[in-house]
Chain A
C-alpha cells in the first residue's frame, strides 16, 4: 500500500480515484445489474397503478424543469449535481416531496407541495433512469395518497383511495418486529430526525426535516438514496424487511394518540414543557394568588 500512500497527494490523485471508482461502479453494476426480466419483475409492482410509463413525457418534463440546473446532458452544472447514477428512486423522492424542481438551488429545500402528479413523476423517473442509468429503483412500497385531481370520477378516486389505504395499512402492520424497528430507528435515524420524527438541527444552517408527512415509500427512498446530507442505508445494511419494521415503527408512533392530554406540545418535549410550566402553570397559580390577596379596603 506504500505506493498509494506516496502518491495520494498528487494533484491528479483525486481524479484517478474517482475515475477508478466510477469504472469499478460501472463494472460492478454491469455484473450485479438485474437482467431485463428481473428488472421488469421488480418494477412491475411499482407500476401496477400506471400500467405504462411515457418516456417522451418524462423527457419533456425533464427539459421543462430539470435541465436548467442539472444540464442538458444530466451531468450537472454549477447550480445542480449530476444525475448520472442517481436512479429513479431519487427522482421519485425529490419530486414527490416537492423538493424538486427547486426554486433556490443554493438552499436546502423544505418539503412542499409536489408540482407533478404521480403519473408524471413516474414518467420523469423512468426517463432519468433510462437516460442516465444507475441508482436504486423505486421500491414497491405505498407511496403518496392519491389525489382527487388525478381521477376523472369520484368513484374511481374513492376506489383508489381505498386501495391505497389498504396497502398502507398492510405495509405498516406487516412490520412485525417492533424491537428491530425501534432499535434501527433509534440508532440510525433518531439522532437527526428526533424520537418523534420532528426533525432536528444539522451543522451549517441545514436541518433534518420532519418525517411526519413522508409516505412509507418516501422514507424508504430517502434511506436508499441518501438525499442531501443524509447517509445512505442501502438494502444490504438494512434489509427491505428491516426497513419495513423501521417504517412501521415510525408510522405507528406517529399515528398513536397521545394518552397524556389534548395538548401534546407537538411532541417537542422538555423545552416546551418547561415553557408551559412557567407561562401557564405558574402564571395561573399567581393569578389565583392575586385574587386571594387583592386589596379590600374601606378607607384610603
Chain B
C-alpha cells in the first residue's frame, strides 16, 4: 500500500537512527499539529527576520571596521572626499559604495531589524489579547517579553555602529541617561566609554555586544521559546472539534513544514523588496558624527520612539537638588523608568492576572478579545500609552508638518498620556460588551435575513436565518469570566484569613473590577439549522447575580 522508502533515504535514516534512536520521537514530532490562522504566524515573521538579520549581519562584518580612529576619507564616494571621519563610518561608506550588493545587504539588515521588532510587538499583542499567555504558557510569555527588550537594545546598539551623525547622537543620549544615575552614573559612563564621551572605545564595545553577546542570548532564548511552544503545542481559536484537550490543525509533515518554509521566503521577499525600492537609514547623507553637530528632526528607530517621547514630554518639575547634588528625575524616569516599566509590566502580567482572577486552570483555547473585556481594555489602554509616547517622540515632525506650536504638542501629550488610556479603556470595554450582546443574540436567534413575511394573523415578521454550525462553535466557546476568586470561603465555610488583610481586600476589589461586566452565555440555546444535530450543551446552573440580556422578541 505504501511506497517503500528509496534506498538512499533509507540509508540516511538508518545511519541517523543507529546513532540517535530517533524513529519514534521523529515520527511523533513530524506529526505535531499546528492550528491554522494568519495571526499565529506573526511570531514566525519575527523568527525569520532574525534569520535574515543573522545572514546579512555576517555579510556586513566582513567589511565593517568598528574603530573610532579618526581618518580623512579618500574613498570612492566623491562627495565626502577629504572629510574627517571614524574608520567605522568610512568602512560603512565602503560597504555602501565599493562592495557590490553591500548597500542592499545593509538595507535588508536595517529593514529586517525594523520588521523584526514590529513583528515581535504584533505577536505579543496577539498573544495578549487572546489570553494565550495564561497557564501553562506564562513562562514562554516572559521569555517573549525578554526577547522584546533585548531586541530593542540590540537594535539601539546596531544603530549606533556606523558612527554617522544620527547614530552618534543616539549614543550621546544613551550616555546622558547613564551619567544621570545618582552616585554611580559618572563611573558607569566612564567605564562604559573608557573615559570621557565619546572616547575611542564605545563602538568596539557596542560592536561586541551587537554581534556576539546579545545575538547569542537572543538565539538561546528564541530556541527555548520555540521548544516550549513545541512541547506545549500552540493555542487555538474556538471551532468545531477544537477543545481544551484537543488541538486541530495542519501536521508538521508534510504540510506545515512547506507552509512555514514558504512563509520564510515571503518574509524575505518583502524585506528584500523594501530594500530594493525604499531607502533606509542613508548614513552617507547624514555625515559623520561629531559631538558638536546636531540636526533637527532627529529620531531613533521606531522601537525606541516611546523612550524618546517620554524624554521629551517628562517635565523637570521633580528633579531633586540636595546640597548641590542633583538627581535628574527628568532623565532617569523617562530614560530608564519607561523601559523598566515596560519590561516589568510585560513580564509580570500573566501572574498579575492570575492573582486577580485566581484562575489557575490550564488554557489551550485562545480567548476572543471581546470575551475578556477588562483584559482587552487594559491592553488597549496600555497600547494607547505606548502609542502616545511613540507619537510624542516625533512631536517636532508633527509640529512642523501640521504647523502646531511645538510646546502645545508637548502639553497635549503630557495631558493625553493620562486621559487617553482611561478613555481607551472605557470605550474598549463597552465595545467588547456590545459585541458580546450581539454574539448572544446571534447565537440564540440567528441572523437577520432582511426577508419580511406576513403571518396569517396579519403580523409582519422578519425571518431569521439560523446560525451556521461553525459560528455556533465559535460563539459557544465563550467561557464565563473566571470567578474562582469569588469563592472567598474554603470548603469548611471559613473565610480565608488573607482576605481580610489589605492585600486581600485589594485583590477582591480588583477581582470585582475585573469580572463584574460580562454577558453570560450559559444556557443560551443556539438557533441551529434544522438538520444539524445539536450537541449536548452543558447547561450549568445560572449564576443568580446576573441574568442575560432580555432576549429580543423574535418568532
> Contact between A285 and B115 (Cβ–Cβ < 8 Å)?
yes
Q: Known: A203-B406, A267-B285, A280-B274. Contact between A252 and B38, CB under 8 A?
A: no
**B230 to A: closest C-beta gap in Å:** 19
**B435 to A: closest C-beta gap in Å:** 22
Q: Closest B residue to A177 by CB, please name it.
A: B82
Q: How many B residues, CB 8 Å from partner?
A: 76
B397's partner among A193, A204, A271 (CB-CB below 8 A) is A271
> For chain A residues 26-81, which have a beta carbon within 8 Å of chain B?
none
Q: Mark A252-269, 1 if CB is under 8 A from B, else 0.
A: 110010111111110111
**What is the CA–CA distance of A21 and B118 in the complex, to the nearest angstrom?**
59
Q: Known: A194-B295, A200-B396, A207-B403. Contact between A260 and B270, CB under 8 A?
A: no
Enumerate chain A residues within 8 angstroms of B470, measured Cβ to Cβ.
300
> Contact between A261 and B302 (Cβ–Cβ < 8 Å)?
no
**What is the CA–CA distance of A32 and B285 in the complex, to the nearest angstrom?**
41
**What is the CA–CA distance of A278 and B125 in the complex, to the nearest angstrom?**
14
**What is the CA–CA distance of A179 and B293 in the complex, to the nearest angstrom?**
13
Enumerate chain B residues within 8 angstroms of A285, measured Cβ to Cβ.
45, 115, 119, 266-267, 270
State which of B189-197, B275-283, B416-424 sits at the interface with chain A: B275-283
**What is the CA–CA distance of A76 and B284 in the complex, to the nearest angstrom?**
46
The answer, yes or no, to whether B468 is at the interface (CB within 8 Å) is yes
> Contact between A201 and B406 (Cβ–Cβ < 8 Å)?
yes
**What is the CA–CA distance of A126 and B190 in the complex, to the nearest angstrom?**
59
**B437 to A: closest C-beta gap in Å:** 25
> Contact between A182 and B403 (Cβ–Cβ < 8 Å)?
no
**B218 to A: closest C-beta gap in Å:** 19
Q: Closest B residue to A200 by CB, please name it.
A: B296
**B261 to A: closest C-beta gap in Å:** 10
B396's partner among A187, A201, A260, A262 (CB-CB below 8 A) is A201
**What is the CA–CA distance of A285 and B262 in the complex, to the nearest angstrom?**
11
Q: Closest B residue to A264 by CB, please name it.
A: B279
The answer, yes or no, to whether B271 is at the interface (CB within 8 Å) is yes
The answer, yes or no, to whether A281 is at the interface (CB within 8 Å) is yes
> Contact between B278 and A274 (Cβ–Cβ < 8 Å)?
no
Enumerate chain B residues within 8 angstroms of A286, measured Cβ to Cβ.
38, 41-42, 45
Enumerate chain A residues within 8 angstroms of B82, measured Cβ to Cβ.
177-179
> Looking at chain B's contact residues, is the secondary structure mostly helix, strand, loop, or mixed?
helix
Enumerate chain A residues within 8 angstroms of B118, measured Cβ to Cβ.
277-278, 281-282
The answer, yes or no, to whether B547 is at the interface (CB within 8 Å) is no
**A255 to B: closest C-beta gap in Å:** 10
> Contact between A292 and B295 (Cβ–Cβ < 8 Å)?
no
- Most chain A Cβ neighbours within 10 Å, of B81, B115, B165, B280: B280
Enumerate chain B residues within 8 angstroms of A208, measured Cβ to Cβ.
296
**What is the CA–CA distance of A289 and B38 in the complex, to the nearest angstrom?**
5
Q: Mark A280-300, 1 if CB is under 8 A from B, else 0.
A: 111011101110110100001
Enumerate chain A residues within 8 angstroms of B266, measured Cβ to Cβ.
285, 288-289, 292
The answer, yes or no, to whether A273 is at the interface (CB within 8 Å) is yes
> Contact between B294 and A271 (Cβ–Cβ < 8 Å)?
no
**A298 to B: closest C-beta gap in Å:** 13
> Contact between A300 and B296 (Cβ–Cβ < 8 Å)?
no
B122's partner among A190, A265, A282 (CB-CB below 8 A) is A282
**B236 to A: closest C-beta gap in Å:** 12
> Contact between B299 and A269 (Cβ–Cβ < 8 Å)?
yes
Enumerate chain B residues within 8 angstroms of A207, measured Cβ to Cβ.
399-400, 403
Enumerate chain B residues within 8 angstroms of A195, measured Cβ to Cβ.
165-166, 285-287, 295, 297
Enumerate chain B residues within 8 angstroms of A276, measured Cβ to Cβ.
274, 278
**What band does the interface of chain A fall in when counting residues whose beta carbon is under 8 Å from B?**
35 or more
> Contact between A178 and B83 (Cβ–Cβ < 8 Å)?
yes
> For chain B residues 277-324, which have a beta carbon within 8 Å of chain A?
277-282, 284-287, 290, 292-303, 305
The answer, yes or no, to whether B7 is at the interface (CB within 8 Å) is no
- Most chain B Cβ neighbours within 10 Å, of A275, A290, A292: A292
Enumerate chain B residues within 8 angstroms of A263, measured Cβ to Cβ.
277-279
Q: Closest B residue to A259 by CB, please name it.
A: B103
The answer, yes or no, to whether B37 is at the interface (CB within 8 Å) is yes
Q: Known: A203-B406, A204-B405. Contact between A273 and B302, CB under 8 A?
A: yes
> Contact between B114 and A273 (Cβ–Cβ < 8 Å)?
yes
The answer, yes or no, to whether B371 is at the interface (CB within 8 Å) is no
Q: Known: A201-B399, A205-B404, A274-B114. Contact between A282 and B45, CB under 8 A?
A: yes
> For chain B residues 479-532, which have a beta carbon within 8 Å of chain A?
none
A-B contact list, 17 entries, CB within 8 Å: A178-B79, A183-B290, A186-B287, A187-B290, A193-B296, A205-B403, A205-B408, A207-B403, A208-B296, A260-B282, A264-B278, A270-B299, A274-B305, A278-B118, A282-B118, A288-B270, A289-B266
Chain A residues engaging chain B, CB cutoff 8 angstroms: 177-179, 182-183, 186-187, 190-196, 198-205, 207-208, 252-253, 256, 258-265, 267-271, 273-278, 280-282, 284-286, 288-290, 292-293, 295, 300
Chain B residues engaging chain A, CB cutoff 8 angstroms: 36-38, 40-42, 44-45, 79-84, 96-97, 103, 107, 110-111, 114-115, 118-119, 122, 165-166, 259, 262-263, 266-267, 270-271, 273-282, 284-287, 290, 292-303, 305, 394, 396-397, 399-400, 403-408, 468-470
Excluding A201-B396, A273-B110, A295-B36, 9 further A-B contacts by CB distance (< 8 Å) are: A195-B297, A200-B296, A204-B405, A258-B279, A259-B103, A264-B279, A270-B301, A289-B266, A292-B263
